Structure formats: structure tokens, C-alpha cells
């Protein structure tokens, strides 16, 4: 019997055991089952062979199929590394047992979604991860965080309803929910085109990709720091994996693929432009998630699913690490210029390494992942990857410029360890995968620094887009935007 399903089952078991410490009045021991649940899936991942299995030996048509293959293995590995670092960080961050339980449910939901090979079970596990995320975003109890969680909840639920509807249409037309059986039986039709368009729009909203990103900057920047790291590093990858499932199993029209390519590039540059104008450090990182998810979508839209998966893994490491590092340094104030790493050499090294990784500089893993994405593109699309890298380096030159001016508060050792571990993973990952220093890295860095200086002299960084509060009415705006975008995709599906 295969053991792949234990990747999701073990965190669920330990979530139950962690919750059990409350009625047994053993709350002080809750961190032990929490840590066990965080690392237990490693045993399955390291020793279980890649392949497919149907849980319980049922026929594929009615059973739950899970797999470890070339598309989801990078996603699972990225999640495991990030969650382990976040678990260590969380021991000195959270005091309430419910936070540990919610984190393990999030862990189980993400791993379950990544190993699913049928649409309905993928949806169930993605929702387990989403519901845990809503609760964790608002767990601080602060008004802005609770409102951000509410906005995230409402828009994500809207996307979920439409996604389930699209699954229903696919089931009606093919008779299957299993991806393998769907791909063998599906025939091109208007109904299938409509289902793909609805599923794509829904997953686009859940992944926080432009122009349906409206919930992301608030939720990711206002969540507790370890939650921000997981949201940006792993949670938005579940809907991206859903796109890989849809695009790899169903006949996606050329018009939808081209639309996805345009959206990907728009997301890359919109995220960078907005990040350049932020004075809140975590909000700057949140807008870079909008930008970075553009690269993942670029890989999916060009049918380069392996490239998309490796970019998603790379983003898990460097963006998770950046949120942990910057969130730790700015635990008293998140405003750029009011905190820094001048007196914290290990944190400075971590932020610098992670900044180079997200900028695509060799030999860090971001360079390897950008190379994979670029290898699947032709003509001007390749230049979008290069120009996006320069924009990212400008933004992170700005971040590091301000961080050199301030001092860090006293930090627990576990916070420093978690941040540096992810920076080291981004470095070692690049070396293992074969990223080697190139002359173009020097040009990229020089271009990023030069543009930063030009923007600074021009007063670009003095412009401000500060947001005072999260208003409940923003849910209506987001829903209207989703409806208009969905109508556009449905129109394209009918062409």
C-alpha cells in the first residue's frame, strides 16, 4: 500500500492531538505535537517513491487518487521547507493552542491539495487551507486585521462557489472528477470552454493575481508575521496548482492561453510598480507576491508546468524568508526608515541573500527558476522576465537601503534561525539545481542599483500610497471586478 496520502493525514492527526491538550489541561505541552505534525510529513516525502495511488485500492473512477510527480513534487518540497521554518518561528510567536491547531490544518490542507489528482478532493483540501488562513489572518484581533480577514473570506468564498460550479459542468460533460479519466474522455465543446473560463477566473482570484489581487495586499500585510510567510509562500500556490491541473487535463483555447500570458506580464509589472510606492515594509512584500505570482502564471499559460512548479517552490523559500526576516525586524514599526538590521548581522545577511534570490541573481534558486520560465517563452515574452527582474532588484535595493539606516530590536534565536535557514535553502537549492554565476547577473544588479538612484533623485519614493483602513465596502468592489472579469473570459470562451 502506498503512503503518499499520509502527507496530508499526519498533520491532521497531530492537529487533533494538539487540540486535545486543551481539555486535558496540558496546554504547556501543545508545542510538542505541533512540532511533530510539522515535521512528520518529511518522513513520507523522503522515503516514499514518486507515483500514483488510489486510497483504499478502490477503482480510479470512484476512489481518491493521490500522487507525487514532476509537477507537484517541487510544490510539496517548498511547502515542507517553509512550514518547518515557520513552525520553529511560531514557538516564540504564538501563545494560544488554537494558533498551533490552525497552522497544522493549513499544513494538511496545502499538502492534500498538492497531492490530489481529482478536482473535488483538490477543492476540499484547498478550502481547508483557505478556512485556516482566514482564521489566522484575523487571529490578532486588531480591527484592520479582522477586516482584512473578512474581505479575504468573502472574496475567496465567492471564487469557491464558482469553482465548484465549474467542476460540476466538467463532471456533467465527462462523467469524471479524476484528472486522468477527464483528460482521456474530454471533447472540446462550448460547455467545457465555459467551465475552464470560470475555473480559471476563480483560481486567479484565490491566487491573488492581477487584476483580481484586491484582497491580497491587506491580508498578507496585516496577518501575523509567520502567517504572512505561509500565505505568500504557500497558500497562493494551491490555486496555482489548480490551474496546472486544469490546463494539463482540459483543452484550453488559444485565446485563454494568450489572455493568461498578458495577465501574467501585467501582474509582474503592476506588483513591482505598487511595491516601489509603499512605505510599509510588509505591504511592499505583499505587492511583490502579486508580481511573483505573475511568473508562475507565465509558466502555466505557456504550458511550461515544470517551470511554474519550480518557480512556485523558489518563491516559497525566498518570499517566506523575507516575510519572516522583515516582519521580525519591524515588530515594533513596519514603516521603512524606522527599523533596520544595522546591529543584526545575521538578519542583514539573510535579507541580502533573500533579496538576491527574489531578484533572480545566481547562484540563488530564483535564477534557476527564472531560467526555467524563460526557456519556455519565445520572443518578447523573454524580455518581460528580464525587465521584471530589474524592477524587482530596484524595489529590493530600496528595501535594503532603508534597512541599513535603522536598528533591530532584540530578537529570539528561533526567529533568526528560521530566517537564515530559508536564505540558506534558497542558496543551496540554487547550487543543487545547477544555477551558476553569470555575467548578466552583474548587469542586472547594476541596472537595479542605477534605476534605484535615478528614482530616488526624481523623488519617486517620496510619493505615497498609504492605506489608512480596510473598509467593508471593498468586498463589493472586489466582487464587481470579479464579475466583470468573468464576463470578459466567458466572452472569450465563446469566440
Instruction: Indicate whether 244 pLDDT > 90.
Output: yes
Mean pLDDT of 130-141: 92
Distance CA 244, CA 301 (A): 9
Residue 332: the pLDDT is: 87
Q: What confidence category does residue 350 fall into, taking pLDDT thresholds of 50, 70 and 90?
A: very high
CB atoms within 10 A of CB 97: 21
DSSP state for residue 54 in the 8-state scheme: E
Q: What's residue 492's pLDDT?
A: 81
Q: Which residues are CB-contacts of 128 (< 8 A; sequence separation ≥ 6)?
A: 105, 106, 108, 109, 112
Q: How confident is the model at residue 366 (pLDDT cuts 50, 70, 90)?
A: very high
**How many CB atoms sit inside 10 A of residue 56's CB?**
9
What pLDDT is attached to residue 61?
Answer: 86
Question: Quick one: cell of 227?
Answer: 502567517
User: How many whole angstroms separate alpha carbon 395 and alpha carbon 392?
Assistant: 5
Residue range 137-163: mean pLDDT, rounded = 94
Q: Is the pLDDT score of 21 beyond 80?
A: yes
User: What does the pLDDT look like over 422-479, one tens digit per residue?
Assistant: 999 999 999 999 888 888 899 999 999 999 999 999 998 888 777 778 888 899 999 9
Cα(18)–Cα(12) distance, rounded to whole angstroms?
10
With a pLDDT cut of 70, the percent of the chain lying above it is 99
Confidence of residue 1 (pLDDT cuts 50, 70, 90): low
pLDDT in tens, 280-338: 999 999 999 999 999 999 999 999 999 999 999 999 999 999 999 999 999 888 899 99
Q: Which residues pair with 116 in a beta bridge?
A: 66
| pLDDT tens for each residue of 179-200 | 999 999 999 899 999 999 999 9
The full length of the chain comes to 495
pLDDT above 90 as % of the chain: 87
- pTM above 0.85? yes
CA distance 42 to 56: 22
The Cα 412–Cα 369 span in angstroms is 32
More confident residue, 366 or 494: 366
* CA–centroid distance for 34 within its chain: 22
Q: Using 50, 70 and 90 to split pLDDT, how confident is the model at 495?
A: low
Amino acid at each position: 500500500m502506498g503512503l503518499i496520502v499520509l502527507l496530508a493525514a499526519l498533520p491532521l492527526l497531530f492537529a487533533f492531538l494538539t487540540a486535545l491538550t486543551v481539555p486535558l489541561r496540558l496546554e504547556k505541552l501543545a508545542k510538542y505535537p505541533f512540532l511533530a505534525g510539522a515535521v512528520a510529513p518529511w518522513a513520507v516525502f523522503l522515503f516514499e517513491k514518486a507515483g500514483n495511488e488510489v486510497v483504499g485500492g478502490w477503482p480510479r473512477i470512484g476512489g481518491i487518487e493521490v500522487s507525487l510527480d514532476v509537477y507537484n513534487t517541487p510544490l510539496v518540497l517548498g511547502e515542507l521547507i517553509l512550514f518547518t521554518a515557520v513552525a520553529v518561528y511560531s514557538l516564540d510567536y504564538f501563545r494560544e493552542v488554537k494558533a498551533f491547531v490552525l497552522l497544522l490544518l493549513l499544513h494538511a490542507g496545502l499538502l492534500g491539495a498538492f497531492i490530489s489528482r481529482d478536482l473535488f478532493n483538490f477543492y476540499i483540501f484547498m478550502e481547508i487551507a483557505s478556512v485556516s488562513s482566514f482564521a489566522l489572518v484575523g487571529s490578532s484581533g486588531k480591527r484592520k486585521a479582522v477586516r482584512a480577514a473578512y474581505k479575504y473570506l468573502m472574496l475567496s468564498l465567492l471564487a469557491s462557489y464558482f469553482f465548484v460550479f465549474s467542476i460540476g459542468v466538467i463532471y456533467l460533460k465527462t462523467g469524471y472528477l479524476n484528472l486522468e479519466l477527464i483528460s482521456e474522455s474530454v471533447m472540446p465543446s462550448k460547455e467545457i470552454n465555459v467551465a475552464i473560463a470560470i475555473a480559471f477566473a476563480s483560481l486567479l482570484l484565490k491566487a491573488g493575481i492581477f487584476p483580481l489581487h484586491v484582497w491580497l495586499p491587506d491580508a498578507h500585510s496585516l496577518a501575523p508575521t509567520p502567517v504572512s510567510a505561509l500565505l505568500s509562500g504557500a497558500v497562493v500556490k494551491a490555486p496555482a496548482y489548480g490551474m496546472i491541473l486544469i490546463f494539463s487535463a482540459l483543452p484550453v483555447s488559444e485565446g485563454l492561453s494568450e489572455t493568461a500570458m498578458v495577465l501574467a506580464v501585467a501582474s509582474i509589472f503592476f506588483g513591482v510598480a505598487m511595491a516601489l510606492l509603499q512605505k510599509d515594509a510588509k505591504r511592499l512584500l505583499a505587492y511583490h507576491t502579486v508580481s511573483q505570482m505573475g511568473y508562475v502564471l507565465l509558466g502555466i499559460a505557456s504550458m511550461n508546468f515544470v517551470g511554474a512548479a519550480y518557480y512556485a517552490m523558489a518563491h516559497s523559500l525566498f518570499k517566506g524568508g523575507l516575510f519572516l526576516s522583515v516582519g521580525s525586524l519591524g515588530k515594533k514599526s513596519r514603516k521603512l526608515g524606522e527599523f533596520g538590521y544595522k546591529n543584526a548581522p545575521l538578519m542583514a545577511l539573510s535579507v541580502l541573500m533573500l533579496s538576491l534570490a527574489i531578484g533572480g541573481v545566481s547562484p540563488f534558486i530564483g535564477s534557476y527558476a527564472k531560467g526555467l520560465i524563460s526557456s519556455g517563452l519565445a520572443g518578447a515574452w523573454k524580455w518581460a522576465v528580464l525587465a521584471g527582474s530589474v524592477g524587482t532588484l530596484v524595489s529590493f535595493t530600496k528595501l535594503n537601503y532603508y534597512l541599513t539606516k535603522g536598528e533591530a530590536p532584540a530578537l529570539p534565536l528561533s526567529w533568526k534561525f528560521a530566517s537564515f535557514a530559508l536564505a540558506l535553502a534558497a542558496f543551496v537549492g540554487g547550487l543543487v539545481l545547477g544555477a551558476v554565476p553569470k555575467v548578466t547577473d552583474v548587469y542586472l544588479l547594476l541596472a537595479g542599483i542605477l534605476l534605484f538612484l535615478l528614482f530616488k533623485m526624481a523623488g519617486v519614493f517620496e510619493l505615497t500610497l498609504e492605506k489608512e483602513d480596510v473598509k467593508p465596502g471593498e468586498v463589493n468592489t472586489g466582487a464587481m471586478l470579479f464579475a466583470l472579469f468573468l464576463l470578459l473570459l466567458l466572452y472569450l470562451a465563446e469566440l
